[in-house]
Amino acid sequence: MKVPGSVANLGGGFDTLGVAIQLFLRATIVDIQDDGGAKLVVAKSVPAVRSRNQLERAFEVIAKRTRRHAPTVFVEVSSEIPMAAGLGSSGAATVAGLRVFERVTGAIPDSVLLAAATEVEGHADNAAPSLFGGLNSVVEGQDSEPLALRWTWPDDLRLVVSTPAIGLATAKARAALPDTMPRPDAIFNLQRVLSLVHALQHRQYERIREGVKDRWHQPARAALVPLLGEVLAVDDPDVLGAFLSGAGPSVATIARAEAAPRVERLLASMYARAGIETTVRVLAAHEGASSAEPESSNRVADAAASARGRAV
């Protein structure tokens, strides 16, 4: 299974917008025990995860939702998505668990997968890109399942993302948010997130800088994220816009593909001057849904087919 990470929020689209990126988590099925255990076991993980991980939780949630006969599945996981960095590592792991379940029991409707991912994650904005690829906005109703809407991410744009060498738990970043938002600020955010989506669809790149501005979560999290204010304030023609990536501490900028290497050097120099260790990546958007890649073992494939054959 190959699942992309994500950059979520894109400024004012808090818990609403996210785009899949070409950083991947891969999960390989190494054994299947057709015992009806409906359980996933991570036999090996790189990097190591000490606590119960999202793959196992997601597998359990989708098993309960679908009530399908499912085996005990053993997987090995490797991920190039840094954890606690605001690049969707948790959402990618959740989606990987769902895709493993789908692999061994048969296809599952997208709506069911998204609902299960949202249950595990608590919000859908980073799960949807990892499930479906590309740029997504999400709608979560009180009495209906969450819905993902697909938008076009221009193929000539890149995300240049700086990830300081500190972790920031999503729970801590959310705890910093105010409980209420003044009406003028709410209107400000709504206007700009709609403008951003429109600008991306019509390649009106001169409007991106204003479209990613935010008055809600970024000011509240500035104290937790090194150089956030400085990067947001960068005035450079090659930086089309800047914003906090997910809950942080990664900070993302948008650049044209040909200008991305220069923006990468610009961001690296800013953090170096401040004495902050960081990793800067140039990332393309990932189009297409997360995939179930063929397993290397015929025995595993045969076991998966057998398990699916007994699904109810």
Give the separation between CA 97 and CA 62, rounded to whole angstroms.
Answer: 9
- 274 and 293 co-located in one domain: no
Residues 33 and 171 both lie in one domain? no
Q: For residues 95 and 290, what is the distance between their CA atoms, to the nearest angstrom?
A: 8
122 and 239 belong to one structural domain = no
Residue 247 DSSP one-character state? T
Q: State whether 147 and 293 are in the same domain.
A: yes
Residue with tokens 């914003």: 243
Range of the domain at 85: 2-151+289-309
Same domain flag for 253 and 178: yes
Phi, psi (degrees; rounded to nearest 5) at 226: -60, 130
Domain count, the chain: 2
- Asked if 190 and 276 sit in the same domain, the reply is yes
**Given a cut of 80, is residue 302 above it in pLDDT?**
no
Of residues 309 and 180, more confidently modeled: 180
Read off the CATH number of the domain in which 114 is found. 3.30.230.10
Give the pLDDT confidence of 3-33 residue by residue, as tens digits: 999 999 999 999 999 999 999 999 999 999 9
The pLDDT of residue 103 is: 96
pLDDT value for 168:
84
- Would you say 233 and 146 are in contact if contact means Cβ atoms under 8 Å apart? no
Q: Are residues 6 and 146 in the same domain?
A: yes
Question: Do 121 and 166 have their domain in common?
Answer: no
User: Does residue 60 carry a pLDDT above 50?
Assistant: yes
Spatial distance between the Cα atoms of 267 and 27, rounded to a whole number of angstroms: 32
Whether residues 184 and 271 fall in one domain = yes
pLDDT mean across residues, the chain: 92
pLDDT of 35: 95
Tokens found for residue 44 = 């090996």
- Tell me: pLDDT of 50 over 80: no
pTM over the 0.75 mark? yes
Segment 260-287 shows an average pLDDT of 97
Cis peptide bond prior to 249, omega within 30° of 0:
yes
Lowest mean pLDDT among 48-57, 120-129, 281-290: 48-57
Contacts of 206 (CB under 8 A, 6+ apart): none
pLDDT at residue 312 in the model: 26
Q: Are residues 266 and 300 in the same domain?
A: no
Copy the structure tokens of residue 2. 């190959």
Dump pLDDT digits (tens) for 227-237.
999 999 999 99
Same domain (yes/no): 137, 66: yes
**Tens digits of residue pLDDT in 182-204:** 999 999 999 999 999 999 999 99
Phi and psi torsions of 216, nearest 5° = -115, -75
- Domain CATH number, residue 169: 3.30.70.890
- Same domain as 275, residue 173: yes
Q: Measure CA 105 to chain center.
A: 25
35-45 tens-digit pLDDT: 999 999 999 99
DSSP letters of 272-283? Answer: HHTT--EEEEEE
Q: Residue 68: what pLDDT?
A: 96
Q: Which is more confidently placed, 167 or 279?
A: 279
- Residues forming beta bridges with residue 6, ordered by sequence position: 20
Mean pLDDT across the stretch 74-103?
96
